[in-house]
Chains A and B, each alone.
Chain A
Amino acid sequence: MARAATTTDAFNAVAEPRRRQIVDLLADGERPVGDLVRALGLGQPQVSKHLRVLREVGLVQVRDRGRQRLYRLNAHALKPIHDWVKGYERLWSERYELLDDVLEDLKQKERRDGDGD
């Protein structure tokens, strides 16, 4: 199952390093846009552009509090990416479970050989 190739999915939205940085910053909690501008060291128009892309794919949500615009992460939208990596992770998990058995044999053999000394 290959990942979707559209230009408007979560994969492409987080393919851009700055947008991934925004996602990381919002993972710690809701933040006003000014915070993000300071943390990223970018101009407000650029940050707003990245936030718009993230909003379009549902990765961030926004609400107004007084004069502030607060952005927060919608972790649910990251699920397709999570699932994509999961299949690969399963392959390695199964390999390493078998490797556990090999190591158990090696440890026993080493113990036996040690007893013989």
Chain B
Amino acid sequence: MAMATSGTAKVTLPADEQILIEREFAAPAHLVWRAVTEPELVRRWWHANRGEMAACEIDLRAGGKWRYVGRTESGEEFAFYGEFLEIVPHVRIVQTETFAPFPDDASTNTMTLTERDGRTLLRTLVQHRTAQARDMHINAGMEAGMQDAFDLLEQVTISLR
């Protein structure tokens, strides 16, 4: 697997049903917490420059619901939703996540923040019930990554005209 470098998220597969995403941020945990839990802040980064967020609802309490809807530049919408199971402010969130087209394949995601010397390590462990569901999760992200590469290629092509 690739080494973690500044600016790059590190994705590893610790077990057949798991995905682990890790990244360090140059900010204390209480600010990272705000950026990942306040809808108006989440809207600024979750789109990954691939369109925009059509909806961002976060009811941050155990038993509360969340729902993210992305909208591509061509107008297609894709929704993720789930429920918060555990909230430890500035430290940990455990939540379920369902990608709307596959309602039977919910994952349980555990996000942890670890602050050291003013920097914060954000780790998200995605736990699926089956290896197939885990693979599908990565395939969906992979396709988004490919789409992004195609968009970039298109921009380069346009700039060459």
A3 within 8 A of partner (CB): yes
A95 within 8 A of partner (CB): yes
Residues 27-55 of B, flagged 1 when their CB comes within 8 A of A and 0 if not, give 10001101110000100111111100000
Instruction: List chain B residues, Cβ under 8 A from A96.
Output: 9, 23, 25, 45, 122
Instruction: List chain B residues, Cβ under 8 A from A103.
Output: 25-27, 31-32, 35
Give min CB distance, B40 to chain A, whole Å: 10
Instruction: List chain A residues, Cβ under 8 A from B32.
Output: 99, 103
Instruction: List chain A residues, Cβ under 8 A from B1.
Output: 82, 85
B64 within 8 A of partner (CB): no
Bound-state CA distance A17–B2 (Å) is: 21
Count residues on chain B whose CB falls below 8 Å from chain A CBs: 41
A56 within 8 A of partner (CB): no
A106 within 8 A of partner (CB): yes
Once A82-B1, A88-B11 are accepted as A-B contacts, the answer to whether A100 and B146 lie under 8 Å apart by CB is: no
Give min CB distance, B62 to chain A, whole Å: 24
B31 touches A90 (CB 8 A): no
A86 touches B145 (CB 8 A): yes
Bound-state CA distance A92–B49 (Å) is: 11
Instruction: List chain A residues, Cβ under 8 A from B48.
Output: 91, 94-95, 98
Residues 66-93 of A, flagged 1 when their CB comes within 8 A of B and 0 if not, give 0000000000000000101111111111
Bound-state CA distance A110–B35 (Å) is: 13
A/B pair count, beta carbons within 8 Å: 103
B135 within 8 A of partner (CB): yes
Count residues on chain A whose CB falls below 8 Å from chain B CBs: 30
Once A1-B146, A95-B46 are accepted as A-B contacts, the answer to whether A89 and B8 lie under 8 Å apart by CB is: yes
Instruction: List chain B residues, Cβ under 8 A from A107.
Output: 27, 31
B139 within 8 A of partner (CB): yes
Instruction: List chain A residues, Cβ under 8 A from B45.
Output: 95-96, 98-99, 101-102
Once A17-B16, A84-B138, A100-B25 are accepted as A-B contacts, the answer to whether A110 and B31 lie under 8 Å apart by CB is: yes
Jot down 7 A-B pairs with beta carbons below 8 A, ordered by A. A82-B2, A85-B142, A89-B11, A94-B49, A95-B45, A96-B122, A106-B34
Q: Which 3 A-B pairs have the closest CB atoms?
A: A87-B145, A87-B142, A88-B141
Contacts A90-B145, A95-B45, A99-B45 aside, 14 further interface pairs with beta carbons under 8 A come to: A82-B1, A86-B145, A88-B138, A88-B142, A88-B145, A89-B9, A91-B141, A92-B21, A94-B49, A96-B25, A99-B32, A102-B35, A103-B26, A103-B31
